A and B are shown apart, each in its own frame.
Chain A
């Protein structure tokens, strides 16, 4: 693989998967408005 391709692949991974990780972390931090314990029992 060329250096440019490796760089772009790493950038894509960091931006997209990193963005996903940040979005999940943000949702977990701000979104806990209700009791989630009950959800686990209910979902399945």
Chain B
């Protein structure tokens, strides 16, 4: 591969137009913002409690160190070495794997469409907290008055109370995305992540001061060592790590492509991985301290009030807020944290799609933002601001997570490790500026341990879904919005991969100047090696 000065300069120009994070600090905060999402707050505490309490720490740490962080570094290496969105990075790795990138893009588009709805609910609940609008029965309020959920069906009956905050969320996200990688995503992360940590720390302190907090923490941390013998507990640990770290579906590939070439991606990955787990631990302490208070107030065991997901956030927590001293403050901090954590994750998900469109079609930032964001917002408003929104969301979320993210992550990892056999060059790339150095251990973890962990999670999920229909939803709903969707996404991905790249796009190997490692496949002598892009004035030129 030629790395002549002319080509390198053109590549630098192309990358400058593509945009990037101005520093390592911004990248790390953006990556933490992506990883720390709703799942850290409402999923981890309950998963830990359900799977051995304090004993869950062991499989959780094993999963983090043997699968989560190694997989995170794989994503970083792919994006940082190949300097492109997920489809472009895969195309540069080997042309035939581009479809994997588009499969990831499809998954991100679907996630963005429904994830915004949950943020909109949390936004509304931040204000509900001020006057305890849910009254004496938070469950009836959430499903009845707020969501106006009726029978399980897909309807077009709009719920104005959801429509307005959802439109606001999308407006905010579109503005952030239009501002670009540094001025939009970067600055949002720089401001939001410290705010999130401070707000949640204040919530934890407030929760720890509540009577009964100790009982809640006892329920969370008391170890049940017998749980370690259960495969499902280990599967839950690997699942929590994978879902929580935002690995395997294009986000970290995309973000890593915006990082300067001379950067320590291994050290950055360790900071991101431990930050994500650190926040989960903080969330676990805060949530279970509050649940302990609720249990004591109602004279029941913590196990009877413990819940996860939507039930924890929109039913259990409002009940806690109603009964706790300074409940309004707890409510604003809790739901405000959900909004902030959700926004920083949502922008990372939608950036995967925008970045792919920009790379493939060579469009400006604003054009790509509107081309991706407006259809996503319209779909989101049509599907999730109706009386059937909660059901559609629940089904799509379950199937896209279990059989979208998990399968594409597993397939991508196996292809990179065993078909393309790219781990040695990717490891070499990480070691150019990265410390500690990655070697045989990392390759073993990434090619064997992490895929095996993912496979266990997948088999357990499949087993559960084939034993009983998910959520007791009707078969037509599970088929159309569940199974069909997860089958269509990879097919669509490989169809999109058939579309030609714009003339002059560098494929087959990392672009000139990426690192000293040789490409996996040398491009044909006549192949163009740089992108001939014309400036539109709509892009940022973040220093690289």
| A positions within 8 Å CB-CB of B | 1-2, 4-9, 11-13, 15-17, 19-20, 23-24, 26-27, 30-31, 33-34, 36, 39, 42-44
CB 8 Å contact bits of B60-94 with A (1 = contact, 0 = none): 01000000000000000000000000000000000
> What CA separation (Å) do A43 and B543 show in the bound complex?
11
Contact call A23/B274, Cβ cutoff below 8 A: yes
Nearest chain A CB to B241's CB is how many angstroms away?
12
Contact call A17/B22, Cβ cutoff below 8 A: no
B22: chain A residues at CB < 8 Å are: 39, 42-43
Residue from A1, A7, A11, A39 in contact with B23 in the complex, judged by beta carbons closer than 8 Å: A39
> What CA separation (Å) do A33 and B186 show in the bound complex?
21
Contact call A8/B223, Cβ cutoff below 8 A: yes
Contact call A5/B54, Cβ cutoff below 8 A: yes
Q: Which 4 A-B pairs have the closest CB atoms?
A: A8-B54, A39-B23, A27-B267, A20-B274
CB 8 Å contact bits of B120-131 with A (1 = contact, 0 = none): 000000000000
Residue B425 at the A interface, CB < 8 A? no
Contact call B281/A27, Cβ cutoff below 8 A: no
B218: chain A residues at CB < 8 Å are: 1-2, 5
CB 8 Å contact bits of B204-229 with A (1 = contact, 0 = none): 00000000001101101111000000
CB 8 Å contact bits of B274-312 with A (1 = contact, 0 = none): 110110010001000000000000000000000000000
A27 and B26 in contact, given A4-B223, A33-B264 (Cβ under 8 angstroms):
no
A8: chain B residues at CB < 8 Å are: 53-55, 57, 221-223
CB 8 Å contact bits of B19-33 with A (1 = contact, 0 = none): 000111110000000
* Interchain pairs with CB closer than 8 A, number: 107
Residue from B57, B267, B277 in contact with A26 in the complex, judged by beta carbons closer than 8 Å: B267
In the complex, residue of chain A having the shortest beta-carbon distance to the beta carbon of B264 = A31
Contact call A33/B54, Cβ cutoff below 8 A: no
Q: 9 pairs across A/B with beta carbons < 8 Å?
A: A8-B54, A8-B55, A16-B277, A16-B281, A23-B271, A27-B268, A30-B267, A33-B262, A43-B26
Residue B190 at the A interface, CB < 8 A? yes
Residue B477 at the A interface, CB < 8 A? no
Residue B435 at the A interface, CB < 8 A? yes
A17: chain B residues at CB < 8 Å are: 274, 278, 281
> What CA separation (Å) do A11 and B435 show in the bound complex?
26
A44: chain B residues at CB < 8 Å are: 187, 190
9 new A-B contacts at CB < 8 Å, known A2-B222, A11-B57, A27-B270: A9-B220, A12-B54, A12-B281, A26-B270, A27-B271, A31-B264, A36-B23, A39-B25, A43-B25
A26 and B436 in contact, given A36-B23, A42-B22 (Cβ under 8 angstroms):
yes
Q: How large is the interface on B (under 10, 10 to 19, 20 to 34, 35 or more residues)?
A: 35 or more
> What CA separation (Å) do A34 and B260 show in the bound complex?
10
> What CA separation (Å) do A36 and B262 show in the bound complex?
13
> What CA separation (Å) do A28 and B190 show in the bound complex?
18
A19: chain B residues at CB < 8 Å are: 270, 274, 277
Contact call A13/B281, Cβ cutoff below 8 A: yes
Most central of B215, B221, B285 by chain A CB within 10 Å: B221
B24: chain A residues at CB < 8 Å are: 27, 31, 39
B285: chain A residues at CB < 8 Å are: 9
> What CA separation (Å) do A27 and B26 show in the bound complex?
14
In the complex, residue of chain B having the shortest beta-carbon distance to the beta carbon of A30 = B435
Residue B433 at the A interface, CB < 8 A? yes
A31: chain B residues at CB < 8 Å are: 24, 263-264, 267-268, 433, 435
In the complex, residue of chain B having the shortest beta-carbon distance to the beta carbon of A7 = B54
B281: chain A residues at CB < 8 Å are: 12-13, 16-17
> What CA separation (Å) do A16 and B270 show in the bound complex?
11
> What CA separation (Å) do A23 and B218 show in the bound complex?
29
Contact call A33/B270, Cβ cutoff below 8 A: no
B186: chain A residues at CB < 8 Å are: 43
CB 8 Å contact bits of B412-434 with A (1 = contact, 0 = none): 00000000000000000000010
Contact call B23/A43, Cβ cutoff below 8 A: yes
> What CA separation (Å) do A24 and B190 show in the bound complex?
17
Contact call B25/A30, Cβ cutoff below 8 A: no
Nearest chain B CB to A37's CB is how many angstroms away?
11
Contact call A4/B270, Cβ cutoff below 8 A: no
A39: chain B residues at CB < 8 Å are: 22-25
> What CA separation (Å) do A11 and B321 show in the bound complex?
30
> What CA separation (Å) do A42 and B218 show in the bound complex?
46
In the complex, residue of chain B having the shortest beta-carbon distance to the beta carbon of A34 = B262
A2: chain B residues at CB < 8 Å are: 218, 222
Residue from A1, A11, A23, A27 in contact with B217 in the complex, judged by beta carbons closer than 8 Å: A1
> What CA separation (Å) do A23 and B54 show in the bound complex?
24
